[in-house]
Amino acid sequence: MSRIRDGESVTPLRTSAPGTSQPASFSQRLRIHLRIARFDHSIKQVFILPGIVVAMSIARTPWSTTLAWHILLGLVASTLIACSNYVINEILDAPFDRLHPTKKNRPAACGLVHFGWGYAQWIAMMIAGLGMGLLISRQFVICAAALWIMGCVYNISPIRSKDLPYVDVLSESVNNPIRFCLGWYIVTSSILPPVSLLLSYWMLGAYFMALKRFSEYRQIGDAAIAAGYRRSFRYYNEESLLNSVVFYSAAAMLFFGAFAMRYHMELILSFPFIAWLMAVYFGLSFHAESAVQNPEKLYREPRLMIPLGFCIITLIYLLYVKLAWLEAWFPRSGS
C-alpha cells in the first residue's frame, strides 16, 4: 500500500489506494490511462512556437509545405514526450497527491491506474515521440530526448529534483528553453539559437513556476501538510518564494534585453507589454484555486489573455521591422 513516511514516498505495492476500486472494463481502463497522459495539457506546447518564429526571423526561412509538415510533426512529437513525462509523474506522485486538496482526485491518487500498464505507456510514448522526431532532424531528436530526460530527473529518485528547494523550479523551467530549441530546430539546423534568449526563456519559465509554487503553498495553508505533499515546501515560505520570483523576473528581462540589443533592438519596445503580462500573472497567483496552479487553464483568464495577445502581436511585428530612429537613439558601442 502506498504511504508517506517522513515526507518520502514508499513504492506502491498495489495498483489501487485503500477504499478505491479498479475500472471494471478494458474501455474504462483505457480512458483512465489516456487521462493520465494529460492531453489537455498540450496547450503548453505553445512554448515551442516562439522558437519557430524567432528562427524564421533570424534565419530568414520562407514558409513552405515542408516547413508546415515539420511543424505539425514537431508539435505531435513533443506532445508525446511531454505526455510520457506526465504519466511517470502521475504514477510516482500518487502517494503525495493524496495530501493535496485538488490533486487527490487524480486517477493514480484514487487507485485507478494499473502501474504495469502505466510504465509501459511511459516508455511507449517516449519511443513514439523520438521516432517522429527523426523525420525532422537529429538536433530535434536530441532536444526531445533532453525534454524526456529532464522529466526523469524531475520525478525519479534518487535525484527527484522536484524535492529540492529552488532546484525544483529551475529543473522544471529548463523545459522552456528546451521547447524553444525544439521549435528552432524544426525550422533550421544550420545555426544555433542565441544563448541570451535561451537564458531569458529559462528565467521566465522559472518566474512562472515559482509563482505556481507560491500559489500552491498559500492554498494548502498548513506548513506541515505542504511539506508532506511536496518535500521542497519544507524549506520554502511565502517570503522566500516571492524573493525568488523577483530574482527570476529580473534575470529574465536582463537576458532578454541583451538579446534585443545584440540581434533586434526593436524588441525593446515590447518591454512594457511583457511587464504588463508578468504583473497580471503575479496578481493571479494570490487568488484561491488560481489558474496559475494549472497553466493549461490560463486561456480561461481574460485578464491574462489580453496582455498576452498584445505581447504576441507586438513581438511578431517587431521581429520583422527595422526602425532607423531607434538605432539613432541607442547607438551600438563603437558605431
CA-to-CA separations, 248 to 60, 78, 163, 209, in angstroms, rounded:
31, 26, 19, 10
3-state secondary structure of 8: strand
pLDDT for 153: 96
* Whether the predicted pLDDT of 279 surpasses 60: yes
Instruction: Calculate the average pLDDT of the chain.
Output: 86
Q: Which amino acid is at 205?
A: G
d(CA 176, CA 182): 10
Question: Among residues 213, 140, 216, 203, which one has the least CA distance to residue 177?
Answer: 203
Q: 289: phi > 0 → left, psi -120 to 50 → alpha, else beta; which?
A: left
Contact 15, 115 (CB under 8 A): yes
3-state secondary structure of 19: coil
Residue with cell 520554502: 236
Q: Which residues pair with 5 in a beta bridge?
A: 8
Question: Among residues 159, 240, 254, which one has the least CA distance to residue 203?
Answer: 254
CATH code of the domain made up of 26-190 = 1.10.357.140
The HSE-up count of residue 261 (CA atoms within 13 Å, CB side) is 12
Separation of CA 216 from chain center: 16
Contact 85, 14 (CB under 8 A): no
pLDDT tens digit sequence for 146-181: 999 999 999 999 999 999 999 999 999 999 999 999
d(CA 129, CA 109): 26
Q: Which residues contact 7 (CB under 8 A, 6 or more apart)?
A: 227, 228, 231, 234
Neighbour tally for 142: CB within 10 Å: 16
The HSE-up count of residue 50 (CA atoms within 13 Å, CB side) is 18
* Whether the predicted pLDDT of 215 surpasses 70: yes
When pLDDT is cut at 50, 70 and 90, the band that residue 136 belongs to is very high
* Whether the predicted pLDDT of 141 surpasses 90: yes
When pLDDT is cut at 50, 70 and 90, the band that residue 8 belongs to is very low
Contact 201, 176 (CB under 8 A): yes
Query: Domain ranges in the chain?
Result: 26-190, 194-335
Question: Among residues 11, 314, 168, which one has the least CA distance to residue 3?
Answer: 11
Which cell numbers in the block locate residue 55? 528562427
d(CA 137, CA 98): 41
pLDDT tens digit sequence for 122-135: 999 999 999 999 99
Question: Among residues 184, 178, 173, 11, which one has the least CA distance to residue 81?
Answer: 178
